[in-house]
A and B are shown apart, each in its own frame.
Chain A
Amino acid sequence: SSELTQDPAVSVALGQTVRITCQGDSIRSYYASWYQQKPGQAPVLVIYAKSKRPSGIPDRFSGSRSGNTASLTITGAQAEDEADYYCNCRESSGNLVVFGGGTKLTVL
């Protein structure tokens, strides 16, 4: 089955820019979406269709795709952005779903 690979942990200084990546074969065919999860809470969608943001998500969040890699970029990271981030995509077959292992973002 298809897999999505994320770095387990990333850190960023307050106000700086950070990129979180997600690699997998299915990303060549389908857009990834990105979810933010804070402790004890359900995940929240932050980016989909490469770089669309749901209502209420700050514009410092953006997305991109190159080859088999999707990226989530936070430009000017804030303390409240400290969270786990998960990518998600269809599997190559098209009917199944796969999540990345998650990236813990620390804002220093």
Chain B
Amino acid sequence: QVQLQQWGAGLLKPSETLSLTCAVYGGSFSDYYWNWIRQPPGKGLEWIGEINHSGSTNYNPPLKSRVTISVDTSKNQFSLQLSSVTAADTAVYYCARRDSSWFIYDFWGQGILVTVSS
């Protein structure tokens, strides 16, 4: 059974850099795209970006200038960095596995609430 376990700092000050990591247990790491998706409190899902095992990335254009997604295949982990955060970046951040064939998110992490506050 595939499990995604994520961790990172939950409280940031404005202008700091958000940093989260997601570890993948079970299943193939190389056959999928690994995604970050966020959800502001009381709002909908927003796709942040994705990476595959070889480091190829796609980013949501509105966030692209502030986002870096990286991968460590030796540990089956991938990470998100979001720079210059503001209160608008307060959200639950999810990592998720995207199936390449059907373009679906079939496994998700538990989610982490990241709050940006001075």
Interface residues, chain A, with chain B CB atoms under 8 Å away: 1, 30-31, 33, 35, 42-45, 48-49, 52, 54, 86, 88-90, 95-102
Is the beta-carbon distance between B44 and A43 smaller than 8 angstroms?
Answer: no
Please tell me the number of chain B residues within 8 Å of chain A, measured between CB atoms. 21
CA distance A33 to B102 in the complex (A): 9
Given contacts A96-B61, A99-B45, contact A43 B105 (CB under 8 A): yes
Interface residues, chain B, with chain A CB atoms under 8 Å away: 35, 37, 44-47, 50, 58, 60-61, 94, 98, 102-106, 108-111
A-B contact pairs, 25 of them (CB 8 A): A1-B61, A30-B103, A31-B103, A33-B102, A33-B103, A35-B45, A35-B105, A42-B111, A43-B94, A45-B106, A48-B104, A49-B104, A52-B102, A86-B44, A88-B45, A88-B104, A89-B103, A96-B58, A96-B60, A96-B61, A97-B60, A99-B44, A99-B45, A99-B46, A101-B44
**Looking at chain A's contact residues, is the secondary structure mostly helix, strand, loop, or mixed?**
strand
CA distance A30 to B102 in the complex (A): 10
Max chain A C-beta neighbours (<10 A), residue from B35, B103, B111: B103
Query: Which A-chain residue is minimally distant from B103 (CB atoms)?
Result: A90
Max chain B C-beta neighbours (<10 A), residue from A52, A90, A96, A102: A96
Given contacts A90-B103, A96-B60, A96-B61, contact A42 B47 (CB under 8 A): no
